[in-house]
Structure 1
Amino acid sequence: MRTLTLFATAALVGTLTAAPARAQTTLTASSWVPPKHPLTENILVAWTKEVEQATQGRLKFNVLPKAPVAPPQTFDAVKDGVIDVSFTVQGYTPGRFVLTKMTEFGFLGDSAESISVAYQRMHEKHLAKHDEHKGVKVIAVFSHGPGHMYSIKSPIVSVADLANMKIRVGGGVVNDYTKALGASPLLKPASESFQMLQSGVADGIFFPGESISGFKLTSLIKHATLVPGGLYNTSFVMMMNEAKYNALPAADKAAIDKLSGEHFARLAGKAWDAADAAGIDAMKAAGIEIRKANDTFINDAKSKVAPVEQAWVEQIKAKGIDGSAVMKEFRAEIAKVAAGK
């Protein structure tokens, strides 16, 4: 009996030893903003950790210490497999993305979470079928917090104060808004902001509340004008190389899908809202003069930028989309999300 027991134990150990190790796939992730920026730490890295946990370690992410390409090249880098996972601003490549401009228009709301979740819902319902992100697996679309105005010399109180100012912008609708408001837009990635302001190439910058401290601009910015509802917003896409996604086992693809879409949009929006609040506190601590845009500014600005949205409505008619109806639905969806629905 003892001999049989020993034999059975040995057989069990042999079976366990011979069992193949659980397959593990390592994906390369990249961010073009600093490691401690909320886009990296609280959105990209936070999401990769969720995926690693959901797949019980079958998927791992190698977050590169430095982006291998410039920010405007990120979409193609993911599409071509230079990197597996990253995010980009659609406005960094003018003319390539048209429908995503819907979330870049101004006065949409004061919460990145509400705007991002509503945007993701609209993307799934109206935009995805037009395949503007062809060649990549879209994890989610999202927006940063409401965009405000900052200057290094004089405060921006009226629309007239923007006349002939050189403003660094990220591209997309805000580029057209800047022109409509009488300023000169300088289209450059956010990562170049410090150099542009320090050298005097730019007189000011349009950014969400987070970014002044996030890009270490507190020593340069003297005045901040916060715009209720946001002067503008910026559209982002979180994406994955399509071939890498398609090659994953079904269980791992299902785990990614569950953590994509509205889940990711809400994660990103919440992270940005928290970062915006902390950023405004940092500006106060740095002694930056902060004011809220008055009703006269808001009414004048809305009047001047309205033709930009109308031009977009006309542009997308060719795609069979009623832009006015879509924007009405989008604004209603933002209010719905803000109300907890």
Structure 2
Amino acid sequence: MKNHFPRLAALSVVCVAAGATQAQTVLQVSTWLPPSHAATLAQNQWCDAVEKGTQGSVKCNLLPKAVTAPPGTFDAVRDGLADVSYTVDGYTPGRFVFTQVAEFPFLGDSSTATSVAYQRIYDKYFAPLGEHRGVKALAVFTHGPGIIFSVKEPVSSVADAARMKFRIGGGNINELSKLMGWNTTLKPATSSFELLSTGVMDGTFFPDESLQSMRLSMVKYATTFPGGLYNTSFVFMMNEAKYNSLKPQERAVIDKVSGESAARLFAAGWDRTDAESRDIQKQTGVQRQMANSAFVAEVKKKQAALEDRWVETAESRGLKNAKAVLDEFRAEVQKVK
């Protein structure tokens, strides 16, 4: 009688391998920023951590292009066009209120400080109120301090800014610009090159890194503010049904590498590329200036009304003691520093 054990053993290996393949969950991951952008790289690092933590039972497929234009990303993830992505809350004006707390001026001088503090406040106060309902919010974060960049002349005062046209990304800076009397247009970051290179806009509001990631070599002037003129609130998210379909141990891995861990991941990349951009700006002759005290005072005066409005609106949506939450957030930023 022939010995069939080797064939049976080989068949068993094939079957086990096939079973493992069938059991693997592949997350479809979308990004609307360039492949080399810090946020895209951070998302990829998160994917690597998920695959490693689940021993390969969950992995990511990085889609070759975004499944939708940036403003549609939240709904695309909610509806399952992609399983994982991130978006700017302010790209859909009026939809998110609590997130605006991370967009106010003069918060902090790094993405890490504001992002980690924001994640802690989000977990404590905002997540239970479900403003990001429809998706699994994996983390929240901000970019680095917001700066006024211009092409033809510097912006040294409120009046200087009022003579120009700027691209902005939405959120609190949109409302602040209106109160300041500035001519601003809400457009995604990815529209900046065309708007500035064609002269449709005279400048843009961005963190430092965006001069390189958006290829804005035409920019010649930068006006910075202590703690930033603004920040932009991002949410890193996952399709809720996909998250719920995972095994408990797989969800546990995702939870472990999300929250503050993911916020720090995104923030570290942003801080690194901000610093690299500042070095490049020195080499390319971008003229930088800090806003003078009169300029800062005028911004603070207008912003005070917006913060009062935010407190009122946030409380109407269920947040108790919103002013105290804002104060706690600012204190948390200082702790992270």
The SS at the match of 2:149 is strand
Q: Which of 232, 235, 243 is the equivalent residue of 1:234?
A: 232
1:183-194 paired onto structure 2 within 5 Å: 183-194=182-193
Cα-to-partner distance string for 1:179-212 (whole Å, 9 max, x where unaligned) = 2222111000000001111122211111001111
Aligned 8 A contact 1:162 1:183 in 2: yes
Other-structure match for 2:73:
74
The secondary structure found in structure 1 opposite 2:112 is: helix
Aligned-pair CA distance for 1:14: 6.4
Q: Name the residue aligned to 1:148.
A: 147
CA distance in 2, matches of 1:167, 1:267: 30
Counterpart AA for 1:54: G
- 2:16 match: 19
How far apart are 1:16 and its partner, in Å?
A: 4.8
Residue of structure 1 equivalent to 2:267: 269
Post-superposition Cα deviations, 1:287-319, rounded to whole Å, max 9, x if no partner, equal 111112222222222122221111111212213
Quote the offset at 1:50 in angstroms. 1.3
Please name the residue that 2:102 is paired with: 103
Amino acid at match of 2:48: K
- The code of the aligned residue for 1:162 comes to A
- In 1, the alpha carbon distance for the partners of 2:38 and 2:82 equals 20
The question of whether the paired residues in 2 share the 8 Å contact of 1:214 and 1:279 is answered with: no
Cα distance between partner residues in 2 of 1:281 and 1:292: 17
CA contact (8 A) 1:181 1:305 kept: no
The 1-side partners of 2:244 and 2:309 are apart by 38
SS of 2:254 mapped into structure 1? helix
Q: 1:231-273 CA deviation, whole Å, 9 max, x = no partner?
A: 0000000000011111111111111010010100111111111
Could you tell me which runs of 5 or more consecutive residues in structure 1 were left unpaired when the two chains were aligned. Answer: none
Match of 2:253 among 233, 255, 266: 255
**Alpha-carbon distance in structure 2 between the residues aligned to 1:26 and 1:10:** 31
Distance of aligned partners of 1:11 and 1:29 in 2 relative to their CA distance in 1, 3 Å threshold: closer
Deviation of residue 19 (structure 1)? 3.4
Q: What's the TM-score, normalizing by structure 1?
A: 0.93
Amino acid at match of 2:127: A
Q: Deviations over 1:71-106 (max 9, x none)?
A: 000000000000110000010001111111010001
Aligned residues: 332
Q: Is the 8 A contact 1:139 1:260 kept in 2?
A: yes
Q: 1-side partners of 2:261 and 2:77: how far apart?
A: 21
* Letter of the 2:109 counterpart: D
Q: Which of residues 274, 295, 312 is equivalent to 1:314?
A: 312
Cα 1:15–1:69 shift into 2, 3 Å: closer
Aligned-CA RMSD value:
1.8
Letter of the structure 2 residue corresponding to residue 277 of structure 1: A
CA-CA distance at 1:10 after TM superposition: 8.1
Q: Distance in 1 between matches of 2:126 and 2:288?
A: 37
- Between the two proteins, what is the percent identity of the paired residues? 50
- Answer whether contact 1:121 1:262 (CA < 8 A) is retained: yes
Q: 3-state DSSP class of the match of 2:205?
A: strand
CA pair 161-18 structure 1, distance change in 2 beyond 3 A: closer
Distance 1:7 1:193 in 2: 67
Separation in 2, partners of 1:73, 1:10: 53
Note if 1:284 corresponds to 2:282: yes
Cα distance, 1:12 vs. partner?
6.3
Write the mapping of 1:155-166 to structure 2, written as runs, cut at 5 A: 155-166=154-165
Q: Identify the residue that residue 335 of structure 2 maps to in structure 1.
A: 336
State whether residues 164 and 182 of structure 1, in contact with CA within 8 Å, keep that contact through their aligned partners in structure 2.
no
Other structure's SS at 2:67 match: coil
CA contact (8 A) 1:104 1:172 kept: yes
Per the alignment, residue 82 of structure 2 pairs with: 83
Cα distance in 2 for residues equivalent to 1:292 and 1:277: 17
Distance in 1 of aligned mates of 2:295 and 2:182: 15
CA distance in 1, matches of 2:192, 2:11: 61
Amino acid at match of 2:221: H
Q: Are the counterparts in 2 of residues 213 and 283 from structure 1 also a CA contact under 8 Å?
A: no
In structure 1, the partner of 2:121 is 122
Task: Work out the CA distance in 2 between the residues paired with 1:19 and 1:72.
Answer: 43
Choose 55-64 or 106-115, whichever is displaced more.
Answer: 55-64
* 2:168 matched residue in structure 1: 169
Cα distance change of structure 1 residues 14 and 166 upon mapping to structure 2, 3 Å threshold: closer
> Residues 291, 55 of structure 1: CA spacing in aligned structure 2 closer, same or farther, 3 A cutoff?
same
What secondary structure, in the 3-state scheme, does the structure 2 residue paired with 1:333 have? helix
Q: Which one-letter code corresponds to 2:28 in the other structure?
A: T
2:37 aligned partner, one-letter code:
H
Deviations 1:109-161 (A, max 9, x none): 10111111110111111101111111111100110011011111110112221
